[in-house]
Chain A
Amino acid sequence: MPIISVTNLRKAYGEHLVLRDVSLEVEAGEIVGVVGPNGAGKTTTVECIGGLRRADAGRIEVDGLDPSTNPARLREIVGMQLQECRLPAKITVTEALELYRSFYPAPRDAGELLERFGLAEHRRQRFGSLSGGQQQRLSVALALVGNPRIAILDELTTGLDPQARRDIWAFLGELQADGVTIVLVTHFMEEAQRLCDRVAVIDDGRVAAFDTPDALATATDGAQHLAFTPSLTISDADVDLMRALPGVASLTVTADRVAATGHDIATPVLMFLAERGITPLRLRVESPTLDDAYLSLTTSAKDGSQ
């Protein structure tokens, strides 16, 4: 049984329809990514799941609870990190953690969180004097301080340097090992690809696709890009033969570079070169990524429907 189930969610702000029809199911212990263009409805979706907004239509169940009617119990099992939330400028890191600990029946150890989020040496520093990245890390720490069974994290690594981002990713991995279910709103496809068991692509108020990152990447007509510098000049006849190889959609030859695009073309092209005794130098092969999938699934947003 899924721990989060969202069915036919619909939500408008005044005239503006933000969620047209969103359905999702998250299994316990999964890390699910929510990606999509700005304004597609990602934040609204997770805020409805967290009980911060009430949908106009549709049904949400979080561990058997309806977030819109039973928030008190929900708050104990769901930890949320939201965008555009601040703390009072003069509260210190430790004070904030201790304050938030006092709200929960079985909170995490503050010291452990300070260490994990690289805030130990800033524990006496006030929120207003922390850097953007430190504030962000504290915000994530506060979302986890209550020992939640479900963590909803909205753009948790935005504004973090690569090292801090990797540290937080590692911690999320450990949380998952502890059985915590994580819903992650993100703009970084790399983050979604590395962390998430499944990714929901939300576009224009609908779930455009919901699958594992690999399945998404290959399903969307994933073009492979291949480029190399041949060790010997390729004859025009051979160029034509290569264009006719299975899967090759296009092939161009410039001064010293050959570039090909198509479906699963690396093997036939490289075998063809081997037969001719040509070595592909400075070879680059790009497989379809979640980025490609994302772009092909969310084109409507780029067409200016926003």
Chain B
Amino acid sequence: MTSTATTKDADTARSAWSATRALLRNEARLLRREPAVVAWAVVLPLVAATVLANVPATRTPNADLGGWSFSQVYLPTLIIVTTSLLSVQALPALLAKYREDGILKRLRTTPASPTNLLVALFVLMGGVSAAVTLLMTLIPIVSGVPFRGNGLAFGLVVVLTIVSFTALGLLFAAVSPNSRFATGIGTVAFFVLAFFAGLWIPRSIFPETLATVADWTPSGAASRALLDSMHGDWPAVQSVLVLVLYAVVCAVVAARTFRWE
């Protein structure tokens, strides 16, 4: 009995993985054929990173910035903007369109589970975010603007940020009934995330209560942790916990509340 059950479990696990892999390959192929969904989130930050790293005024250290260059201090912001655009805007819009067109309903009649599709989209969008982030980090370096800080900590925080934001996007994607709703919630979420990351008002001048609140948001925690690592430190435990918590809670709730129709 036990051995049959184990074989069956192994079979199930194998087929779940093969379904996820097939969905991932398919989604990647479709994204390559229709890159418009992510083009703006990919191109814009790359252009910004290239300009900042090559214009003399922004590539050289600035006394007002405590010896940092604009190219360096804007890196965390660019990373958060890119990741937010891809995760909370592009991803829910994509999945809501699938829901609207009955593509999800069709998939529902097969043994593929919502988790298979969510994992595939998670890996795909997370992968795009990671690739763009890597390029944005490398562009200044090859342009002669050195990376300063704790590289290992920075890398780990970037990974956590992407995982956490993408999980948040999956949650929106899972529950949006239609593309209008997805676009709406994605846009609002983007501005909220960007705000707490300090895109409009720098974090350094946040009033104390606002800073406290910001530290409990994924983008506030991410930008604080990225800045810490650029200053050579390891991120605060709180920042890491906040990012992990959002990632886990959002992913679980997304899988549980997923709507096919």
Residues of A within 8 A of B (CB): 50, 52, 72, 75-76, 78-80, 82, 84-88, 90-91, 95, 98-100, 102-105, 139, 142-143, 146
Contacts and interface: CB of A to CB of B under 8 A. Distances in A.
A99 B15 contact: no
B33 to A, nearest CB: 4
A90 B30 contact: yes
A146 B107 CA distance: 13
Given A98-B22, A103-B19, A88 B109 contact: no
A38 B98 CA distance: 26
Given A87-B103, A88-B30, 13 more contacts: A75-B109, A76-B111, A82-B102, A86-B102, A86-B103, A86-B106, A87-B106, A90-B34, A91-B29, A91-B30, A102-B21, A105-B11, A139-B106
B11 A88 contact: no
9 contacts: A52-B109, A86-B102, A86-B103, A88-B30, A99-B23, A102-B21, A103-B15, A103-B22, A146-B111
B256 interface: no
Given A84-B102, A103-B19, A146 B30 contact: no
Nearest to B104: A85
Interface in B3-41: 11, 15, 18-19, 21-23, 26, 29-30, 33-34
Contacts of B33: 90
B105 interface: yes
B102 A104 contact: no
Contact of B111 (A52, A85, A87, A104): A104
A117 to B, nearest CB: 16
Contact of A95 (B15, B19, B29, B34): B29
A72 B101 CA distance: 23
Nearest to A74: B111
A82 B105 contact: yes
A91 B110 CA distance: 18
Contacts of B30: 88, 90-91
B247 to A, nearest CB: 26
Given A95-B29, A99-B22, A102-B18, A82 B111 contact: no
Contact of A142 (B19, B105, B106, B112): B106
A72 B16 CA distance: 11
B106 A88 contact: no
Contacts of A86: 101-103, 106
B180 interface: no
A102 B22 contact: yes
Which of A72, A85, A91 neighbours the largest number of chain B CB atoms within 10 Å of its CB? A85
Contact of B110 (A88, A95, A103, A139): A103
Nearest to B26: A99
B132 to A, nearest CB: 22
Contacts of A52: 105, 108-109, 260
A127 to B, nearest CB: 10
A146 B103 contact: no
Contacts of A84: 102, 105
Nearest to B102: A85
Nearest to B109: A80
Contacts of A146: 110-111
A102 B22 CA distance: 7
A79 B109 CA distance: 7
Contacts of A143: 109
A155 to B, nearest CB: 14
A103 B112 contact: yes
B106 A103 contact: no
Contacts of B113: 72
Contacts of B23: 99
Contacts of B22: 98-99, 102-103
Interface in B34-87: 34
B87 to A, nearest CB: 20
Which of A102, A143, A146 neighbours the largest number of chain B CB atoms within 10 Å of its CB? A102
Contact of B98 (A79, A88, A102): A88
A50 B102 contact: no
Nearest to A143: B109
B18 A85 contact: no
